[in-house]
Structure 1
Amino acid sequence: MQQDIQVTIVGSSNVDITALMARLPGPGETVLADSYQLSPGGKGANQALAAQLAGAATEFIGAVGKDSHSEVALGQLDGAGVKLDRVARSSQPTGVAIIQVDSGAENSIAVVSGANSTMTDQAVKAAGAIDGILVLQGEIPASGIKAAMDAATDRIVLNLAPVIELDRDYLLKANPLVVNEHEAEAVLHQLNPHLGLRFNGRYERLAAMLIEEGITSVVITLGASGCLVADKFPAENGGAQVRPLPAAKVKAVDTTGAGDAFTGALAARLANGEDLVQAAEFAGKFAALTVQAHGAQASYPRSLENL
């Protein structure tokens, strides 16, 4: 019997082609890679797997092609029990991400959207009702993101990565907005394009300003430095309260998909009744486990015993 869905991810699904190398090439440079691997990815699919593995009954709504890559793209989700009934089969090819990872775990990523580009407002509306907490990213068209928000009946977790243009009213639906420090600044300038500020490491102020612009809650991920959780003080106090949460100390070998692991795990814990700080603390530990192995979905923990 299908468990009631707690988290629904509307987003992208890709096949990751990952090349491992000593260092990333510079412009116009060719660098010999040590090896490569083919694996499932895409921010939406990654987050769906993370949410399922973090303990929430999860559905993924997206699109893949009618090609052999589609089996790779959806294989781990299917194996983990993510509901896939509303994944569309498009005439466009399955999306592909071309990833380079160096010996210091830094990466560069180029994404070919393929079928993900068909996730417009029409496709999302055709998928029907959205159950549970809704999680969105920036790898599908803005019209699809807005249609999903319009259909949401629970809180919305918006991981606006990459940052794309959204109307102010839709940005303010995020609860929380989950972004890294660069994305946070880009979103703030969408909300208030007249700002000329550059934050240069003053990320607590950046988080507070996003709250002051009207976003209900914000999580800014800072990699090895942990994250910041921000929300509003009670009405009588006004302003924003910002809390830094440290990261678990681990040796990273590949950070690909770690941000997605964080977002999916965060949504799962919110769906299971934790507050935002508790959920972010768990999500940080979950994400820290993923950077200790290569790949995105393949690195996600299959057991919560060590958390």
Structure 2
Amino acid sequence: MAQRNQSIVTEFILTGFPGLHQEYYGLVSAALFLVYLVTMIANATVIFLFATDCSLHKPMYYIILNLSVCDVLFSTTTLPKIITKYWFQSGSISFTACFVQMYFVHYLGSVNSFILFQMALDRYLAICHPLRYPHLLTTSNILILSITAWTTAKAGPLMLVIRAYPLPYCASNIITHCYCDHIGITTLACTDRAPHAVPAFVAAMLTLLGPLAFIIFSYCSIIIAVHKIANVQGHLKSLSTCSTQLIIISLYYLPRCFVYLASTLGITFSADVRVVIIMLYSLAPPMMNPLIYCLRAKDMRESLLKLFCR
């Protein structure tokens, strides 16, 4: 069946932003390249600081290291192709390469969600159970959780690819998106999409809402615990330690929840708006995360200052 598919559709065409006029292609490609460059430099800096400064070898910074690696991989998976589309007017992607990109898009998105779960767990234990924190969230436990996240996240995306690849693609090969994802590909199949859409939606909800449910619980518990602190300065210090994670989590989850909720309620908006929203929550967090760490995390700021002083 796969051979038959490839004999009919040998490549897909990524439209990028559907309503964008050709006169703006150069500007958009330059903007996307700048986003990619900032993302790579900022996350590479975080990885370099962690590798060279032993004072950062703490559970929280192991989690940040995982997130930086995931952000680098996700940006490298999605951005170069859409940059070449606008820079060199080359929007085509081979049949197999599109499915490979789809796998990594969903895989790295799942890993990201599990890493945010670890960040919430770290803050929950640090504030709600400070005496047990050093014993529960040791470096070895964080490594186990990280390896588990990177390993278990493979299952869902792999099943999506296995189920979607053999479908008959004999109609349009134009994907209204900046990269290949499950919805964009399977809507082009010459068959009923429902049997494939429902399992994909359930998998996405489990990956997205499972960690989000714990994150909401953990921060509600943190707010309650902080209000029990009589010292106003203690209030501010405890909330300050969580503000970084709240910013990151908001950048990641809120736009995604909006897109899924709109789809479930039947709220429709133009293809341009949908692509812009998806690109915002795909590109903004990887670029903003390391900037937030360096500005908010005291150890990271000090390590960065020492690097510049050297």
Tell me the TM-score normalized by structure 2.
0.27
* Higher relative contact order structure (alpha carbons within 8 Å, sequence separation ≥ 6): 2
Q: Which is helix-richer, 1 or 2?
A: 2
Which structure has more strand as a fraction of its residues? 1
Higher alpha-carbon Rg: 2
